[in-house]
Amino acid sequence: LASFRKNDAEIESALAGVVKAAPHDLEAANRLAVIYQQRRRYGDAVKLLREMAKTDRRNPALWNQIAYAEAFGGNRPGAMEALGEYRKLNPADPNVEDSTGDVLFFFGKFAEAAESYEKAHKLGPKWQGGFALFKAAWARMYADDLAAADSRMEQYLALLRTANKQMAELRAAQWQFLRGRRAEARSSLTAILGQGSLARPYRGLVASQLYVWDIAEGRLAQLVAEFRARTPRYGTEVTPVLAGLLEGAKAGLTPAERAAAISRVMGGNAPGMTVAAATFLEARLHPPLSAEGLQALVMADNATPEASAMFTHALAAWGFLERGEAAEAAQIFARRIPPVATDDGMLWPLIFPQS
């Protein structure tokens, strides 16, 4: 019955009771392990998952889980050992090499991570639409092998063009901006926005990206003034988080009220990321970042599963830097999370303002 309750602590307690009473209930144990990982209690997760492995050693997905839990808990040898067990069971599965790349990326072994992602792509050239190439591009960029990074991204974009040409154009511009080719990126998206036959959702994505670039370059106050004057430079079809910020400013809401409005609109799929984005944008509009703002960034980061926390990690680290706490920022940046979705591309300039 606890699964129907909203209190997470009760759910955890109920599952722990089931696992204690029935150690071989692998479904309950797995659900409890997921909760531990979401709460970043990696030692507890590893202990539970390895107990499961004693009776379910030939479960490749279980070894994959163990690898990530060990990695996020800081145990690289344990993670690589688990990946070795995973590889024995599924040697031709591209996900084995993809997971290996993620673990190596997390520990800062970027060149080795890129090699693993590239192996994953060779094993499954169409696997996940070529996303392993996308990750390889990032790993090569982190390894300062920029020519290879551009090459891998172009390989990925070539695959994407066959499936979704418009999205490939957007992703290509995002990569150009990230790599410092800002004029080319802006020119590309401005030209797209000038086309009269764009579908409304795509127009909104393109316009939102141009707005985010302006925000990254310090023009947020100008954008708000334009919205108040009803002369928005890229139109009003934007993503909800930007609409909440800009429309809220136009309506004269306080910063706290705007942040709450954004969270209400965007909350659900990624509440931690939503709160982090809203807090960050508010701090850019009304600097400096307050102590309460930093607390909100840290809480948002802690509420985000680590495997998806590239963005919230970066903004929490930014918050510590803004408040003069460089050592805390360095600790967060040491936990390097690979990208998990190309959708994060719109926010890359906020994560990497030095691009």
Per-residue pLDDT, 97: 98
- Alpha-carbon gap, residue 273 to 260, rounded angstroms: 14
Instruction: Examine the pLDDT at 348 and tell me if it is beyond 80.
Output: no
- Alpha-carbon gap, residue 217 to 76, rounded angstroms: 38
Instruction: Examine the pLDDT at 339 and tell me if it is beyond 70.
Output: yes
- Alpha-carbon gap, residue 11 to 28, rounded angstroms: 11
Per-residue pLDDT, 258: 57
Evaluate whether 262 touches 241 at the Cβ level (below 8 Å). Answer: yes
Which DSSP category does 344 fall into? G
Instruction: Examine the pLDDT at 180 and tell me if it is beyond 70.
Output: yes
Per-residue pLDDT, 241: 63
Residue 77, CA distances (Å) to 19, 72, 84, 214 in order = 27, 12, 10, 43
pLDDT category, 1, cuts 50, 70, 90? Answer: very low
**Which residue, chain included where needed, has tokens 């316009």?**
207
**Which of 14, 13, 53, 47 minimizes the C-alpha distance to 33?**
47
Each residue's pLDDT tens digit, 190-223: 999 988 778 888 998 899 899 989 988 888 888 8
Each residue's pLDDT tens digit, 236-267: 888 766 776 666 555 555 655 655 555 554 44
Per-residue pLDDT, 302: 87
Higher pLDDT, 133 or 261: 133
Instruction: Examine the pLDDT at 5 and tell me if it is beyond 60.
Output: no
Neighbours of 202 (CB within 10 A): 18
Q: Which two tokens mark 215?
A: 């925000």
Each residue's pLDDT tens digit, 83-102: 999 999 999 999 999 999 99
What is residue 86's three-state secondary structure?
helix
Cβ neighbors of 89 (< 8 A, separation 6 or more) are 58, 59, 60, 63
- At 40, phi and psi to the nearest 5? 60, 35
- Alpha-carbon gap, residue 252 to 225, rounded angstroms: 11
**Which of 149, 134, 70, 131 minimizes the C-alpha distance to 106?**
70
- Alpha-carbon gap, residue 79 to 71, rounded angstroms: 5
Evaluate whether 255 touches 286 at the Cβ level (below 8 Å). Answer: yes
**Which residue, chain included where needed, has tokens 């390989």?**
155
